[in-house]
């Protein structure tokens, strides 16, 4: 068992999505990942508020959001020593290769285009965090 899996009960995920139905789908999918606590944020500014109050082990964010978009959020997180290595998954409708490359260049760990399946998101998070399916 990996060290990360040994402390799985303490893992926190932040879902940053301005669309309530999409956020609900992602949160529901992640709620099935044993040992993962899921917190929601409606936009990038809300995400920064959440991050100020707690440590997250993985962040899933949309790109197109009001106030502070996902790309600016990634850039700000990568500039923060506490979040420079935390996995960030972009989940977005932006399917162009240049959008994907820009997100990865800014420091995104993975890039998934919508529409998505909940099981796909859960599997991706398990793989990134090296968690076993339970």
Distances (CA, A) of 72 to 26, 31, 83, 124: 21, 27, 14, 23
**Residues 99-112 pLDDT 10s:** 999 999 999 999 99
CATH code for the domain of 27: 3.40.50.2300
**Encoding tokens for residue 50?**
């959440």
What confidence score (pLDDT) does residue 2 get?
42
Residue 95 CB contacts under 8 Å (≥ 6 apart), including other chains: 113
The pTM is what? 0.90
Structural domain total, the chain: 1
**Residues 58-104 pLDDT 10s:** 999 999 999 899 999 999 999 999 999 999 999 999 888 999 999 99
What confidence score (pLDDT) does residue 134 get?
54
Tell me how crowded residue 104 is: count the other CB atoms within 10 A of its CB: 14
Q: What's the start-to-end Cα distance of the chain, in Å? A: 14
Phi–psi pair at 118, nearest 5 degrees: -55, -40
In a domain, 109, yes or no: yes
In a domain, 62, yes or no: yes
**Residues 42-58 pLDDT 10s:** 999 999 999 998 999 99
The whole domain housing 78 covers: 3-129
Higher local confidence (pLDDT), 17 or 10? 17
Q: Distance between CA atoms of 84 and 66, rounded to whole angstroms?
A: 24
């Amino acid at each position: 068992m990996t060290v990360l899996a040994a402390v799985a009960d303490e893992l926190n995920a932040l879902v940053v999505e301005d669309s309530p139905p999409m956020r609900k789908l992602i949160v529901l999918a992640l709620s099935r990942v044993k040992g993962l606590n899921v917190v929601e944020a409606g936009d990038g500014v809300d995400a920064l508020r959440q991050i100020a109050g707690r440590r997250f082990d993985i962040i899933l964010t949309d790109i197109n959001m009001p106030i502070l978009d996902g790309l600016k959020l990634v850039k700000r997180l990568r500039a923060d020593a506490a979040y420079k290595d935390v996995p960030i998954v972009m989940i977005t409708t932006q399917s162009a290769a240049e959008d994907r490359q820009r997100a990865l260049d800014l420091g995104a760990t993975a890039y998934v285009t919508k529409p998505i399946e909940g099981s796909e998101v859960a599997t991706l998070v398990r793989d990134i965090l090296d968690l076993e399916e339970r």
